[in-house]
A and B are shown apart, each in its own frame.
Chain A
Amino acid sequence: MTGAGKYWRVALGAIVIAGLIVVPANFNRYGLFILSQWAVMTIAAMGLNLTLGYAGQVSLAQGAFVGIGAYAAAIMTSQGMPLIAALGVAVVLCFSVGWILGYPALRVQHHYLAFVTLAFSTLAFLVFRNEDWLTKGIYGISNIPRPNIFGFATNRPLPFYYVCLGSLGIVSVMVWWLIRSPWGRAFLALRENPIRALSLGIDTRRYTLMAFAIGSALGGVAGALYAPLTQYVDPVPFNLSLSLDLLMMVIVGGAGFFFGPFLGAMIAVLLPEWLRFTEGYYLMLYAIAVILLLIYSPTGILGILDRSLAERRTKIASARRAVAASKLETAP
C-alpha cells in the first residue's frame, strides 16, 4: 500500500466514524433503534467472521450465543445487577460453551460440522423456551433496564445508541488486534491448509477451539447489548433464522475480510427499511440479490473490491517488470 493510499484510508475511516457519531443526533427513535441494531449485529457477525471467515470453521449456532448473552443480561439486570457484570458472565459463559462446541470441529468439517452446530442451536432454543423458571418461557422477560454509565443514564435512544457504537468500537479494535497477531495468521493457516499448519508446529486443535470460543464470546457480547436495546427478550428472535441471518451477513459482506461484517450487517438490517416501498417483495428482492452476488462473487462484496485491487496491483507489477526487462536488454 502506497503512502498516499494509507492517508486516504485513514481520512475515510475518520469521516465514517465522525458521521456515525454526529449524524444520528437528529435521528428519530426508530432510526436510532435500527442503527443500534446494526452495531449489535455487527459485533455478532464479527464473531462469526472470526470462526468462519478466518479460521474456516462452519458454525450455524451464532444466533444461539446471542441468545445466551441476551438472557444472561436480561436475567441479571432485572435482578438489579449492573450490565457490566452481566456482560462478563455472558462472555465467560459463551466462551466456555463455544469451546465445548469446538470439540466436534476437531473431528468433522464443513457441512457435517454445520449440522452439529445446528443441533446445538435448536437445543439452545428449546432451553430458552421450555425452562420457564429461568427464562420465563414464551412470555419472555420484559422491562429490561438500560445501564447507567459513569453516572449517565442511557435510557433514551441516543445515549444507548452511543453505548452500542462505543462497544462496537472496542470490539473492532480487539478483533483487529487479534487478526493481525500471530493468532490471526495461525487461524488463516488452519483454514487454508491444516496439515501443513500442523507440520509447522501450529497446534491446530488449540487454535480451532479458540476460534470457536472467541467467536462465540463475541456473540455473547452482542446478546448482552441486544437485551437492553429491545428491553424485552423472548425465545423467538434467537431461533435458527438468526444464525442463518448472521451467516448471511458474513458471507454477503465478505467472509475473511475485516470490514465484511460491517457491510453485511448494514445490508441485512438497513436494506429491509430501504426496500419498504416494495411492500411484500422485499424478501424476494433480497434473495435474488444474494443469489446474483454469490454467482458473481462467492467471496462477497468485499471480495469484488479485493479482486479489482489485486488486478490493479498485478498490472502495475507487470508494467514495472516490463520496464526493468527493457532496461536489462538495453544495458551495455
Chain B
Amino acid sequence: MTAVLEVTSIRKRFGGITAVDGVSFDVHEGEILGLIGPNGCGKSTLFNCILGQLTPSGGEVKVDGKVVTGFRPSDLNRLGVSRTFQLLQVFPKLSVRENLILAGQEHQGNMMSRLFGPSDAGLTDAADQMIGFFKLDHLASEAAGGLSYGQQKLLDAAMAFMGGPRLVLLDEPAGGVNLTMLADLKERLAAINREKRATFVVIEHNMEFVMSLCSRVMVMAEGRVLAVGKPDEVRANPAVIEAYLGH
C-alpha cells in the first residue's frame, strides 16, 4: 500500500506555546483515519499545517510522495487535497448548485477557458449528481444561507468532493448534525470511500461516528501523538482513557 499522505515531525509554535509538537503519521490509499483528542490538543492546527493555511515551524508534509510543505491551499487543492471546516463555510448567497459549481470550477480547464467558456464550467450535471448523492435534490436552487444547519453541513461536505479529490481532511463533520442526518452523512462518506477509493482523515468528537467509520484512529494530546491503532485497540488503551478522563 502506498501512502497518500506522509507527515513527518510537524511542529507549530505560536509564541511560547507549542500547539503541535513533532507529529508524524502516514495515511494509506483508501483508508479512513480518525483523529481524536481533547479540545485544544492541536488537531485543527495540525490540519491547517498540512493544508498550507498555517506555515509549520518545522517538519515535512508529502502527498503521493511529493513534498508539499508550505504550498498554498489553492495549489494543494488542485493536487487533489480537499477539506471541510469545523465552522460552516458555505457561500450563503449562492444557491446550493452554484456552491457546488464554485467548488469544482477551478479543476476544469484554465483561466482562459473559465473566462470564455460556459458559465457553469460544464459542471451543472456533476453538481446535480452530487446534490442527488447527498439527498439535497429539493434544495438545489435555494440559497445556501436559507438551509438548516445540518443541510449546510452536508453541502459543506459535498463541496469538498466536487474536485474529485484523492485525499479529504474533514474537520468535525458531525458537529451539530442531528442523528438521522448523521447516519446519512456516514453512509455517504463510506460510499465515496468505497467507490472512488478516496482517502479521508476525519477529526471528530463523536466516538460512535469515529469508531464505526474509521479503519484506524490516531489519538492526540497536548500536541503529540498518544496512540495509533484499530478503533478497538485505541479504545482499550489506558493512556487514551487517562487523557480523556484526566489524572
Q: List residues of chain A with CB under 8 Å of any chain B CB.
A: 178, 180-183, 185-186, 188-189, 192-193, 195-206, 314, 317
Q: Is the CB of A192 within 8 A of B93?
A: yes
Cβ-based interface call for B53 (8 A): yes
Q: Which residues from A are CB-within-8-Å of B93? A: 188, 192
Q: List 29 A-B contacts (CB under 8 A).
A: A181-B114, A181-B116, A181-B117, A181-B119, A182-B108, A182-B117, A182-B121, A183-B115, A185-B101, A185-B102, A186-B102, A186-B105, A189-B102, A192-B92, A192-B93, A193-B91, A196-B85, A197-B74, A198-B77, A199-B77, A200-B102, A200-B106, A200-B162, A201-B107, A202-B74, A202-B102, A202-B106, A206-B111, A317-B142
Give residues 107-128 of B contacting A (CB, 8 Å): 107-108, 111, 114-117, 119-121
Q: Is the CB of B106 within 8 A of A203?
A: yes
Q: Encode B75-107 as 1/0 by CB contact (under 8 A) with A.
A: 001100011010001011110001001110111
For the complex, what is the distance from the CA of A121 to the CA of B103, rounded to whole Å? 36
For the complex, what is the distance from the CA of A117 to the CA of B22, rounded to whole Å? 43
Q: Is the CB of B89 within 8 A of A196?
A: yes
Chain A nearest CB, measured from B90 CB (Å): 8
Interface size of B in residues (CB-CB distance below 8 Å)? 36
For the complex, what is the distance from the CA of A268 to the CA of B82, rounded to whole Å? 46
Q: Which residues from A are CB-within-8-Å of B83? A: 199
For the complex, what is the distance from the CA of A39 to the CA of B142, rounded to whole Å? 36
Chain B nearest CB, measured from A312 CB (Å): 14
With A199-B51, A202-B106 known to touch, is A185 a contact of B98 (CB < 8 Å)?
A: yes
Q: Encode B195-229 as 1/0 by CB contact (under 8 A) with A.
A: 00000000000000000000000000000000000
For the complex, what is the distance from the CA of A175 to the CA of B111, rounded to whole Å? 16
Give residues 154-211 of B contacting A (CB, 8 Å): 159, 162-163
Q: Is the CB of B89 within 8 A of A201?
A: no
For the complex, what is the distance from the CA of A183 to the CA of B72, rounded to whole Å? 20
Residue in B78, B91, B114, B146 whose beta carbon sits within 8 Å of that of A196 in the complex: B91
Cβ-based interface call for B58 (8 A): no
Chain B nearest CB, measured from A215 CB (Å): 15
Q: Which residues from A are CB-within-8-Å of B91? A: 188-189, 192-193, 196
Q: Which residues from A are CB-within-8-Å of B89? A: 193, 195-196, 199
Chain B nearest CB, measured from A68 CB (Å): 24
Q: Closest chain A residue to B122 by CB distance?
A: A182
Most chain B CB within a 10 A radius of its CB, from A178, A199, A206: A199
Chain B nearest CB, measured from A14 CB (Å): 23
Q: Which residues from B are CB-within-8-Å of A206? A: 111
Cβ-based interface call for B59 (8 A): no
Q: Which residues from B are CB-within-8-Å of A195? A: 53, 89
Q: Which residues from B are CB-within-8-Å of A203? A: 74, 106
Q: Closest chain A residue to B90 by CB distance?
A: A196
Q: Is the CB of A183 within 8 A of B114?
A: yes
Q: Is the CB of A198 within 8 A of B74?
A: yes
Q: Which residues from B are CB-within-8-Å of A182? A: 101, 105, 108, 114-115, 117, 119-121
Q: Encode B120-156 as 1/0 by CB contact (under 8 A) with A.
A: 1100000000000000000000100010000000000
With A181-B114, A182-B120, A200-B77 given, name 9 new contacts (CB 8 A).
A181-B116, A182-B115, A183-B114, A185-B94, A188-B91, A199-B89, A200-B106, A201-B78, A206-B111
For the complex, what is the distance from the CA of A189 to the CA of B91, rounded to whole Å? 7
The 7 nearest A-B residue pairs measured at CB: A201-B77, A201-B106, A182-B114, A198-B73, A196-B89, A182-B105, A201-B78
